[in-house]
Amino acid sequence: MKFKIGSIVCMCAVLFSSEIEAQSNTITYKKDGFWQQQADYSMSIDMDVESYQFKGTQTIKYTNNSPDVLDRVYYHLYFNAFQPGSEMDARLQSIQDPDGRMTTNIGTKENPVFESRISKLTEDEMGYIKVKSLQQNGKSLSYEIEGTVMIVNLSSPIQPGETVNFDMEFDGQVPVQIRRSGRNNKEGVSLSMTQWYPKLAEYDDEGWHADPYIAREFYGVWGNFDVKITIDKDYIIGGTGYLQNADEIGYGYTDADVKHKGKKLTWHFKAPNVHDFTWAADPDFIHDTMQVPNGPLLHFFYQNTMPEDKLDNWKKLQPKTAELMQYFSKHIGDYPYEQYSVIQGGDGGMEYAMCTLITGERSYGSLVGVTAHEMAHTWFQFLLATNEAKHEWMDEGFTSYISALAMNEVMDRNADNPVSGSYRGYVYLANSGVEQPLTTHADRYSINQAYGISAYSKGAVFIAQLGYIIGDDNLKRTIKKYYDDFSFKHPKPMDVVRTAERVSGLELDWYLIDFAQTTNTIDYAVKGIEGNTVTLERIGVMPMPIDLTVTYTDGSTEDYYIPLRMMRGQKPSSATVKADWAWAHQTYSFEASKTVKSVQIDPKGMMADIKKDNNTFPASE
């Protein structure tokens, strides 16, 4: 998603000698000790576009690849969040800075009083998933629903290696759009169908992840999806998955002229190896496609009812989207699907499997920017698929980083540091007194602003600053190797750091500990200069290697690099390398080659020093 915080806008190996084998839509992993669950979905729903209610059937073929016997499973029923009295409603009413999209200001501009929009939903406006029946291998199961989570006690525990079928019948109601999914968003898109179906919770080496839906994002089980959606024939659908019956549907999915019979059409989609299935539908959608050379077919769905200049932006967006796809594929890794869709819907921008939902009536720059951000999520949220409740910064942060670089190139911005906004955001947060460590559960930040800056800005700084520590070429190789080794595997923070260690040969665990697991901050200073001698001081607790530039009294300059001893090595550098700095020593002096006039630490601004005024000496420089 894209996150806005006050004036700061954040755009938003374990070298497992592993092999991914793609065979007939299944992926198997050969890696010592690694396992993950598999959930293959077959679903059919019948949507009533007048009442926004739908009836569904679902079969999940669930394979327990864990070494554990499972006597329970959990389902997410996300639509239940959009009910008065839900945890999402309660949180909205108690947090100091609620999301403006989810509240109505019933006070004044000067003295706002925020009212939860969820608290005002009537019976026919709220969202729900009502489970009508559930069977395991044909035998009825009992279940209990606690808000957005359904607890199923199995009559027959699932053994390691066993595959079972769960058959469910359910009724759903699409809520008035409050957040992410819903009916009739503010731009009038009829159906934004995200987190709309009963979804099995993920079980991994850290156990169950049956997180309630309070505010933050998702984590799911990989599997193959077969989905049939029956809906009034006037509606045009875009979403996850390949349409199987284009000949019956038409609507830009085939060039053939298709005549629709009857009142409704059934759309049949298949999506191999995804952990989510999303769709949106509207009778006013224009459907354009564009082929990315050596890449997927891009689909664009946007309403024909928007003003002419906004429609024009959607045309101009299309070649830029192709360029973005090529940028990310080159700099992270190949996009492994044949299709990607940019769909007008939702309430801002949100990433999903093989698609994104974005609001569409935007300026050209904003439209390209949100598409860049959401498409970049494809690699981090969808294909690497980190647990976003626990490690949100690995998704939002890395996405913000790479999309800022992509925008810099695709839009010819030529910024020296495309991530400078993220650095400013992080430094603001670090000095604000409300920062919590990146290990905080995404729902447990005290205020939304602290979550936002942490996940987006500090997460982006984490990866950009890693380039400062190990060198830019090593960072580029790290990002590609991280994707190569961990796509489709739900990586964790240590996986990124171990990848960087393997690529650079440097010891980096201190970086993860200090920057992600604490709120320790970086503050280095130039203490003084005397003749050829430069003295530096470490004021903050967090260690860092130091790049600095010395200007001599004769006007010439020289770059120096001071390695950090605990890294047991140094990045490739063309600067003059001095003796390493052992962290516990608070000061460090070295001899420059000529009489020193002034010194500047980190002139490129890639180290997230939270007090910059002492980085230059004399201070006036």
Please count the other Cβ atoms lying within 10 Å of the Cβ belonging to residue 429: 23
The smaller minimum CB distance to Zn ion, of residues 1 and 497, is found at 1
Instruction: Report the alpha-carbon distance of residue 239 to residue 395 in Å, rounded.
Output: 21
| Rounded least distance, CB 326 to Zn ion, Å | 20
Nearest CB to Zn ion, comparing residues 114 and 219: 219
Shortest spacing between CB 525 and Zn ion, in angstroms: 35
What's the one-letter identity of residue 275? H
Q: What's the chain's length in residues?
A: 621
- Contact criterion met (CB below 8 Å) for 567 and 545: yes
Q: Which helix (H) or strand (E) holds 280?
A: strand 279-282
> Which is nearer to Zn ion, 272 or 491 (by Cβ)?
491
Is there a cis peptide before residue 618, judged by omega within 30 degrees of 0?
yes
Q: Which is nearer to Zn ion, 180 or 527 (CB)?
A: 180
Residue whose C-beta lies closest to Zn ion = 12
* 448-466 b/e (C-beta count within 10 Å ≥ 16 → b): bbbbbbbbbbbbbbbbbbb
Q: Which residues are at the interface with Zn ion (CB under 5 A)?
A: 1, 12, 396
What torsion do the CA atoms of 500, 273, 243, 137 make, to the nearest 10 degrees? -160
**Phi, psi of 338, rounded to the nearest 5 degrees:** -90, 0
Which of 478-498 are b and which e, b meaning 16 or more Cβ less than 10 Å from the residue's Cβ? bbbbbbbbbbbbbbbbebbbb
For strand 19-23 and strand 53-63, is the pairing parallel, antiparallel, or unpaired?
A: unpaired
Q: How far is the CB of 2 from Zn ion (least distance, A)?
A: 6
- Minimum distance, C-beta of residue 356 to Zn ion, in the bound complex (Å): 10
The CA distance from 170 to 45, in Å, is 9
Compare residues 83 and 378 and give the one whose CB is closer to Zn ion.
Answer: 378
Least distance in angstroms from the C-beta of 397 to Zn ion = 9
CA angle 359, 363, 366 (to 5 degrees): 65
Nearer to Zn ion, 1 or 512 (CB): 1
Closest contact distance (angstroms) between CB of 373 and Zn ion is: 6
363 burial type by CB count under 10 A (0-12 exposed, 13-18 middle, 19+ buried): exposed
Closer residue to Zn ion (CB): 352 or 483? 352
Looking at the Cβ atoms of 176 and 332, the one nearer to Zn ion is 332
- Min separation Cβ 180 and Zn ion, Å: 12
Task: Output 12 or 178, the one with its CB closest to Zn ion.
Answer: 12
| Closest distance to Zn ion from the beta carbon of 432 (Å) | 22
* Separation of alpha carbons 427 and 422, rounded Å: 9
Q: In the bound complex, what is the minimum distance in angstroms from residue 350's beta carbon to Zn ion?
A: 8
Find out whether 32 and 20 touch, Cβ atoms under 8 Å. no
Rounded least distance, CB 374 to Zn ion, Å: 7
Q: Using alpha carbons, select from 547, 550, 536, 549 the residue that is nearest to residue 572.
A: 547
| The two three-digit tokens of residue 507, written as one number | 């010891």
- Closer residue to Zn ion (CB): 203 or 398: 398
Amino acid letter, 213: Y
CB 239 → Zn ion: shortest distance, Å? 19
Looking at beta carbons only, is 1 or 601 nearer to Zn ion?
1
Strand intervals (E) in 13-67: 19-23, 26-30, 38-48, 53-63
